[in-house]
Amino acid sequence: MRWTVVRSIAALTVIFLALASHGMQAQTSLPYQKPPQAIIDFIDTRPTPMVDVSPKDGSGSQWLLIESISGLPSLADLAQPELRLAGLRFNPRTNGPSRGRYITSLMLQALPNGEAKPVSGIPPEARIRFAAWSPNARHIAFVNASDNPSDAGLSLWIIDVASAQAHPVPGIALNGVFGRPCEWSSDNSSLICKTVPKNRGATPKRTEIPSAP
């Protein structure tokens, strides 16, 4: 009888361990569950593009800047670091906003009935913010956010409207924590920008240990 009881307990222990091991494996290998594709397509529908009408150029003509908006944030976007300062929420990796949608592509259309054409030269996987026309409507400035370790930050780009071609302005790290980092000057050829100091120190380390009761 004693042998039978011991053997039964041993058998139950083996079964319990096997079930526990299977449960742990199932938990560690369980991917994110997705709803039916019809629901995914409905939820991931992109918002209607935004449009920005230019000032009148020297001939009195105007342009339309068409801005395609990003969809819902990805897991990579949600995993980005965020710091809080009063009511501000910003990403210390990019020195820009940590929340909100961004622009993924740009098109230009001459008004009133021109054909829309895509802006070329935009960086791959663009995350564009703060697009702004120059006063004479010949150029557009925009900011691209990158979290790539090799070039993380906000970079300044300029679009030549006549050719619909974009090119970066090298050597400038913009500071977009407090909003739009650049404004066109009245001469139509220069911008006034808020930048990150080259000698800025590292991000302060937060301690979880209280200094007082």
pLDDT-derived band of residue 207, with 50, 70 and 90 as boundaries? confident
Tell which residue, 116, 110, 131, has the closest CA to residue 61.
Answer: 110
- For residue 1, the model assigns a pLDDT of 45
Give the span between the Cα atoms of 59 and 72, in whole angstroms. 40
pLDDT-derived band of residue 31, with 50, 70 and 90 as boundaries? confident
92 burial type by CB count under 10 A (0-12 exposed, 13-18 middle, 19+ buried): middle
Examine the pLDDT at 148 and tell me if it is beyond 60: yes
Give the span between the Cα atoms of 151 and 26, in whole angstroms. 39
**Higher per-residue confidence, 155 vs 147:** 155
Give the model confidence (pLDDT) of 83-115 as tens digits: 888 888 999 889 999 888 899 999 999 999 999
CA torsion through residues 148, 104, 80, 177, sign: positive
pLDDT-derived band of residue 204, with 50, 70 and 90 as boundaries? confident
Examine the pLDDT at 75 and tell me if it is beyond 90: no
Give the span between the Cα atoms of 129 and 106, in whole angstroms. 11
Examine the pLDDT at 9 and tell me if it is beyond 70: no
- For residue 3, the model assigns a pLDDT of 43
For residue 155 the two structure tokens come to 């970079």
pLDDT-derived band of residue 116, with 50, 70 and 90 as boundaries? very high
Most confident of 13-17, 88-92, 209-213: 88-92
Looking at this protein, which amino acid is placed at residue 18? A
Mean pLDDT of 69-78: 86
Examine the pLDDT at 20 and tell me if it is beyond 80: no
Give the span between the Cα atoms of 77 and 98, in whole angstroms. 9
